[in-house]
Amino acid sequence: MTMKFEKETRRLKTLIRLSGRLQSKHLDELKTQIEGTRSRIALDLNEVTLVDIETVRFLNACEKSGVEILNCWPYIQEWMIREKGREREGNTIDRNARATDQNPSLRLAGNRIEKE
């Protein structure tokens, strides 16, 4: 199945309707659609049937930058939430690893720092 983009601008809002399988190979085109828009942006995912991990990360980045995500299927929403949690955990682990590198009396235990 192919990916279909429909762009509609009304006053101060641009709606981009997506349908089909939204995969990483489509993200450059979607980025182009978004970057060429000066108004507020909303992505309508009602007809999106499948996504991959790179798409989930992209959607999270869009949402973080103010793009509104509409009509998102529950499984995609759940995946986005889980991926946000993984990103936060990864940032915590990275910060903790840097802290232990800077102070040899500390060690990393899971995602926590413990004093030796």
**pTM of the predicted protein model:** 0.73
Rounded distance between C-alpha atoms, residue 54 and residue 51, angstroms: 8
For residue 4, give the nearest of 13, 15, 21, 14 by alpha carbon: 21
pLDDT at residue 107 greater than cutoff 70: no
Exposure string (b/e) for 59-83, b if CB count within 10 Å is 16 or more?
A: bbebeeeebebeebeeebeebbeee
- Tens-place pLDDT, residues 84-101: 988 776 665 555 555 545
Strands (E), the chain: 4-10, 13-22, 40-51, 68-70, 106-109, 112-115
Domains, the chain, ordered by start: 4-102 (3.30.750.24)
Cα Rg, the chain, nearest whole Å: 19
- Tens-place pLDDT, residues 41-82: 999 999 999 999 999 999 999 999 999 999 999 999 999 999
Token digits of residue 75: 């499984």
Q: How many helices (H) and strands (E) does the chain have?
A: 3, 6
